[in-house]
Amino acid sequence: MKTVDILRFNPESALLFRDTRDFGFSENARTVFPTSEPFYGAVRTAFLRKSKTNLRDSAAIAKHKSQIGDRDDPGAFRFVGPFPFLKKDGRARYFLPTPSHLTQWEGGEFGFLRPNPGLAFTYNGISLQTLWDRKTEQGSRAAEAYPWIDWDGMSKIKEGRTPDKAHLAKDDAFFEVEHRTGIGLRSDRKNAQEEMIFRVRSFRFRDEAGLYLFVLKGSDLLEGIDTVLLGGKSGVATTELEKNVSVSLFDKVGDSEKIAVLVTPTIFRNGFLPANSGNTFFGASVEAVCNGKPYPVGGWDLVVRKPKPLMHAVPFGSAFFIKGSLDTEKITEIRSEFGYGSYIECKRNKEDNHGK
């Protein structure tokens, strides 16, 4: 077990985080759950405001680069997240992505998908096992209905035990998706662009709900920051720093056979596995993968004022069934310094279909 600091964001307005795919007349701008990068940008800007730095003076900003970094360098900060939280009676209840190998059946019972050695297949020359729960080949993933799980529920999964339903939450426990209409502006005159009415969706957080980050480094630089501008359209959020929170979720599992569950997206150059690695997986070997649809990672670059390159990541909650010990703190090929590829090791459930 170790202690970490936690930075909470309490949204005061709707927050917009969209990917960089093009959209046109009468279309929806796609809204996605954010990665850590908008939060790095929000904290950088808040730090500069706190230090009374002229935000239009690039030379003055450059003097702080070792502390706050830039769009390609996190500086002295190291964050993991964001994730949602709920607050009740002044105490925060923290959540993480629900692991994708957790299943739920019509009767409400929970179980786990696991590799089936008798159902192997080959993907790009890599031998992998099909997942099943001893009932069907796939089953109903709990994360589709309940995408978030609290720390107590994740602790149970870490031990190879099924959680109770009370540990799981839907998106609407934290926020509602709010629809807005926008009008595109011409870049040369800043007046309305013909045939450019579009819709955007933003997150309207409930009272006592918000987002949090694990702060691995840089807590001292956060002192005095109490408000940030976050996401598109400069949404406003107040911040709270909770220090020395005990967390055992990221402890290693001693078993040889285990599961690495992503809590943040990871980016591989070869789809959902590292490039040219075969079954080798960061010092271990991979037997099976339980992943979802690719997660778009992009955003708007405020410096050059154009969309960042769009990358497709393995989504958070994805589970890698491995043998051996992982030799890295981040299972990603790109942008590990920004928290991509953060994971929790979990024991494999070796009991019957429902973990009883």
pLDDT of res. 355: 41
pLDDT of res. 26: 41
pLDDT of res. 306: 60
- The residue with greater pLDDT, 134 or 79, is 79
In this structure, are residues 276 and 39 in contact, taking their beta carbons and an 8 Å threshold? no
C-alpha Rg value of the chain to the nearest Å: 21
CA atoms 144, 287, 262, 349: torsion sign: positive
pLDDT of res. 296: 75
Nearest to 318 by CA among 160, 171, 141: 141
- The mean pLDDT of the chain is 84
Mean pLDDT value across residues 307-330: 89
Mean pLDDT value across residues 330-353: 87
Percentage with pLDDT > 90 across the chain: 56
User: How does pLDDT run across 245-290, given as a tens digit for each residue?
Assistant: 999 999 999 999 999 999 999 998 878 888 777 889 999 999 999 9
CA-based end-to-end distance of the chain: 27
pLDDT of res. 320: 96
Q: Which residue has the tokens 């690495």?
A: 260
pLDDT of res. 136: 53
Q: Which 3 state secondary structure label does DSSP give 229?
A: strand
Q: Which residue has the tokens 């045939």?
A: 195
The pTM (predicted TM-score) of the whole model is 0.87
pLDDT tier at 319, thresholds 50, 70, 90: very high
In this structure, are residues 302 and 48 in contact, taking their beta carbons and an 8 Å threshold? no
Per-residue tokens: 212: 């949090």
pLDDT of res. 23: 41
In this structure, are residues 76 and 217 in contact, taking their beta carbons and an 8 Å threshold? yes
CA distance 46 to 52: 10
Candidate from 63-67, 108-112, 187-191, 329-333 with smallest mean pLDDT: 187-191
Exposed / middle / buried, residue 293 (Cβ in 10 Å: 0-12, 13-18, 19+): exposed
CA atoms within 13 A on the CB side of 301: 12
In this structure, are residues 73 and 338 in contact, taking their beta carbons and an 8 Å threshold? no
pLDDT of res. 100: 94
CA distance 95 to 212: 9
Nearest to 299 by CA among 338, 269, 337: 338
Whether the predicted pLDDT of 299 surpasses 90: no
In this structure, are residues 67 and 221 in contact, taking their beta carbons and an 8 Å threshold? yes
